[in-house]
Chains A and B, each alone.
Chain A
Amino acid sequence: MSWLHTWSGLLLGWVLFAIFVTGTATYFRWEITRWMQPEIRQAGTPYDAALAAWQRLDTVAADSPQWFAELPDDRTASTTLFWRHAGPGRRFGRETLDPATGQPVVARDTRGGEFFYRFHFQLQLPHPWGRYLAGVAAMFMFVALISGVITHRKMFADFFTFRPGRAPLRAWLDFHNVTAVLALPFYFMISYSALVIFMTMYMPWGGRVLAGPESAARGSRPAAAEAWGASADFAPMLVLAQEAWDTDRAVKRIEVANRGTDRCTVTLTRADGPKISLNAREQLRFDGVTGALLDPMPPNTGPGTAVHDALYGLHLARFAGPALRWSFFIMGMFGTALVATGMVMWTMKRRARGGAGVALVERLNITAIAGLPVAIAALFWANRLLPVGLADRGDWEVYCFLCAWGFMLMHPLVRPVMHAWHEQLRLGAALFLLLPLLDALTAGTYLRAAWQHRDWAHLGFNAAMLACGLLLHVAAGRVHRRLGIAATATTVPAAAPSRA
């Protein structure tokens, strides 16, 4: 069982670490976008933005069968439009609007927080493979959790114990235990719900043997050969929504389905409230031809659906207000530390024995644990330093991220292990600590405006970057101290380890 814990934790540990880091960042996905696109300021009410979104869709996607619009709220500043192109196939158009003008944004092109969100479950791999790899990683994590609890039952007894001054391995094990027990329910929830979110991909067999009428109906989409029907006026629907919902939690999503047919519907969805289940969304549905209010969709009832929707909602944590969101963020950091300490301990236990396997794991650990922060910092630096007019600028930011990570993969090959740890941690610390300064130099006017308007997204991001930098700085200091100890201890038999 101990063997199972060790190897299920290690084998996909690097993937799991990257998933934890990007997933934790995703809790602040929209705030990250705000920092990476400082040009867009919040303006107007969601209802003004809704009207502007509708008008824009009417000009750019008049012949589209399906529209979506995501409206700004107190966390997002811009409107995002999607529409399905007319004709066969599932091709979509996309545009980001400035809610103040109702026109496409004049801002730097960036993926923003979406990068972290996508990386979290697609890992920059071609389509189904990223999701499969993330699923395998989630399953490994779930197994590592169960086997860890079975093998180390006594960790619950001394879970208050963290002895930083003790022998290194003991201190690391303490920290591994502490982070494991503190947020254990969170880890079980997050790994199992990760599997549940894509369960029809990972375990499609239940649906396959029950090929019922529902799956047959989904395939048959009537060709849009019939005459294009006009749709109802949007403004009255919005007035109804405005009467039903306050401005605090206003309309968040607009979806128009089956446009041009007599089955056209308009669905307005209210911003997420403090309900965990994703099924608990409040919606208003309208007949798209007459504009009449329709009866609400019969909710999918049944215990299975309820559990599924609750797990899905828990994983995304959209229900969480600022305080709870920070708690989830911190638990995500604990999870990151749990994975990292486990992987480092694997090498500490085997370092004396040496061998190619240990050398490889050690180097991959450096690239994953110390290198990924450097790559993320490089993404943010690229966001501020790349020319605003560069074509495909958002893609270039990602290339910078990948290149930086590639360098962090090469670097441990030419440096001794502890030096590589130290240098990468220092580099990451410097990049994060200097990021607010870079922000002030390159986006000073926006920073000042954010300060004047008490725009906590922009200011909080800079504060969080300083905190990340300090954390890496402290870690680098600890490695440096061990380097000093090692240097004085091994000056005499220094030639010994080079044989490995």
Chain B
Amino acid sequence: MAAVSSPARHRLGIAARTLAAVAGGYTLAAFTTTAFALALRLPRSEAVMVATLPSFLVFAAAVVWAFAARTAWRAWAGILAPTLAAAGVTWWLHGGPGS
């Protein structure tokens, strides 16, 4: 039984990590960009530059984390937590609970 389910589990793990890397990683990069762009209080074009330039580094770091984490659960948790934080900051600065 275990011998049959083990490769299946392995594949499921890889699929979960891939999804975390691609979808989770991009979402994290997008929300860190918006959070930075809003938090920096710079002139618009400069704020967009400074916030967007490192976004691909964030994306790449998330991808590497997704495949370096010990389990697929940890991979997801490690990407989801900062994504929610960045989304929260974005929501707060973009109008917050008032609007």
Q: Does A402 contact B (CB under 8 A)?
A: no
Contact call B14/A200, Cβ cutoff below 8 A: no
Q: Does B83 contact A (CB under 8 A)?
A: no
Contact of B67 among A4, A139, A142 (CB under 8 A): A4
Contact of B45 among A209, A214, A303 (CB under 8 A): A214
* B18 to A, closest residue via Cβ: A7
> Chain B's nearest CB lies how many Å from the CB of A152?
14
Majority secondary structure of chain B interface residues (helix, strand, loop or mixed)? helix
**Chain B residues whose C-beta falls within 8 Å of the C-beta of A308 in the assembled complex:** 49, 53
> Chain A's nearest CB lies how many Å from the CB of B8?
17
Contact call B50/A303, Cβ cutoff below 8 A: yes
Pairs A–B under 8 Å by Cβ, sample size 21: A1-B67, A1-B68, A4-B67, A8-B63, A139-B59, A199-B55, A202-B56, A205-B30, A205-B33, A205-B37, A207-B48, A208-B34, A210-B38, A210-B48, A302-B43, A302-B50, A304-B46, A304-B48, A304-B49, A305-B49, A307-B53
Size class of the contact patch on chain B: 20 to 34
Majority secondary structure of chain A interface residues (helix, strand, loop or mixed)? helix
**Chain B residues whose C-beta falls within 8 Å of the C-beta of A302 in the assembled complex:** 42-43, 46, 49-50
Bound complex: CA of A143 vs CA of B56, how far in Å?
10
Q: Does B80 contact A (CB under 8 A)?
A: no
Q: Could you say which of A3, A205, A212 has the most chain B C-beta atoms within 10 Å of its C-beta?
A: A205
Contact call B34/A142, Cβ cutoff below 8 A: no
Q: Does B72 contact A (CB under 8 A)?
A: no
Q: A304-B46, A304-B49, A304-B50 are in contact. Are A203 and B55 (CB under 8 A)?
A: yes
Q: B residues within 8 Å of A by Cβ?
A: 14, 29-31, 33-34, 36-38, 42-53, 55-56, 59-60, 63-64, 67-68, 90, 94
> Chain B's nearest CB lies how many Å from the CB of A384?
42
Contact call A305/B46, Cβ cutoff below 8 A: yes
Q: A147-B67, A206-B36, A302-B46 are in contact. Are A199 and B53 (CB under 8 A)?
A: yes
Contact of B48 among A8, A146, A206 (CB under 8 A): A206
Q: A residues within 8 Å of B by Cβ?
A: 1, 3-4, 8, 139, 142-143, 146-147, 150, 192, 195-196, 199-200, 202-203, 205-210, 212-215, 300, 302-305, 307-308
Taking A207-B48, A215-B44 as given, write out 16 further A-B residue pairs in contact, using a Cβ cutoff of 8 Å, ordered by the A residue number. Answer: A3-B14, A139-B56, A146-B60, A147-B67, A192-B56, A203-B52, A205-B37, A206-B36, A207-B52, A209-B38, A213-B44, A302-B42, A304-B48, A304-B49, A305-B49, A307-B53
Bound complex: CA of A200 vs CA of B51, how far in Å?
11
Bound complex: CA of A203 vs CA of B54, how far in Å?
11
Bound complex: CA of A192 vs CA of B50, how far in Å?
15
Contact call B34/A209, Cβ cutoff below 8 A: yes
**Chain B residues whose C-beta falls within 8 Å of the C-beta of A300 in the assembled complex:** 45-46
